[in-house]
């Protein structure tokens, strides 16, 4: 069973739909036991960093997420779910993230001719042999919606990057923890293959 953590985030239903398309038994939950006994766990997210951390605290999910990671359960953060895994964000100064991975979330710099938020399809450049990207062509296009981006402290956890006004760490992998700034559930066949690779870990 795959648990999708429910903390009132925006893209939960589309992640659930994608997993059902892949034939997975999936449940949207904030129940501690269901999350801890799941085979894999997904932290989705659309919205503001500070609000999301507030909900995670409100529902008592912070310790659960840390426990899932410590147990070695495959864990996937998507979009805001990636950002929350890190230490801090320009979006909400003074609010601490989950701190599972080292790095910070910065505002995409203004650039003539580029709109922020960054919404649309961008190609990925792979590095460090990410397991999520098995059986994918080079430089595949995936769908992004974000105004803030990851700058990871450890270059060796970065598995994909993209360029939009700046150099963006688009995906990371460390042990059993995986995360994507883009939305695999909205990235057509490429995105489904990425989720399939996660399912098959």
* Catalytic residue selected from 79, 118, 169, 173: 79
Q: How far apart are CA 57 and CA 79, in angstroms?
A: 19
- 66, 167, 185, 200: the catalytic one is 185
- Per DSSP bridges, beta strands 158-163 and 118-123 are unpaired
What would the mean pLDDT of 49-57 be, rounded to a whole number? 96
pLDDT at 85: 98
Asked about 183 being catalytic, the answer comes back as yes
Asked if residues 101 and 69 have their Cβ atoms less than 8 Å apart, the reply is: no
Confidence of residue 88 (pLDDT cuts 50, 70, 90): very high
Q: What is the third-level CATH fold of 2-199?
A: Rossmann fold (3.40.50)
Average pLDDT over residues 88-92: 97
**Residue of 124, 127, 131 lying closest to 176 (CA atoms):** 131
In this structure, how many other beta carbons lie within 10 angstroms of the beta carbon of residue 145? Answer: 17
Lowest mean pLDDT among 3-12, 14-23, 48-57, 113-122: 3-12
Give the pLDDT score at 168: 98
**pTM of the predicted model as reported, rounded to 2 decimal places:** 0.97
- How far apart, in whole angstroms, are the C-alpha atoms of residue 78 and residue 50? 16
- Token pair of 52, please? 């999301």
For this structure, is 57 an active site residue? Answer: no
- Give 156-193 pLDDT, tens digit per residue: 999 999 999 999 999 999 999 999 999 999 999 999 99
Instruction: Tell me the percentage of the chain whose pLDDT exceeds 70.
Output: 100
- 118, 146, 169, 183: the catalytic one is 183
> Is 10 a residue whose pLDDT tops 80?
no
Q: How confident is the model at residue 11 (pLDDT cuts 50, 70, 90)?
A: confident
């Amino acid at each position: 069973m795959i648990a999708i953590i429910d903390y009132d985030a925006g893209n939960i239903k589309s992640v659930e739909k994608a997993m059902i398309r892949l034939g997975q038994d999936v449940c949207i939950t904030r129940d501690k036991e269901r999350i801890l006994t799941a085979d894999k766990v997904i932290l989705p997210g659309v919205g503001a960093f500070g609000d999301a951390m507030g909900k995670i605290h409100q529902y008592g999910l912070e310790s659960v997420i840390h426990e899932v990671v410590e147990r070695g359960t495959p864990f996937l953060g998507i979009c805001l779910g990636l950002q929350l895994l890190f230490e801090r964000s320009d979006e909400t100064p003074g609010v601490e993230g989950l701190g599972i991975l080292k790095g910070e979330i910065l505002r995409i710099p203004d650039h003539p001719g580029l709109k922020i938020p960054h919404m649309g399809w961008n190609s990925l450049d792979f590095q460090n042999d990410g397991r999520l990207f098995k059986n994918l062509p080079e430089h595949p296009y995936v769908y992004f919606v974000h105004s803030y981006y990851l700058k990871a402290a450890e270059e060796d956890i970065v598995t994909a990057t993209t360029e939009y006004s700046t150099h963006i760490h688009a995906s990371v992998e460390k042990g059993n923890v995986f995360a994507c700034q883009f939305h695999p559930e909205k990235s057509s066949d490429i995105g489904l293959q990425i989720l399939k690779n996660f399912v098959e870990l």
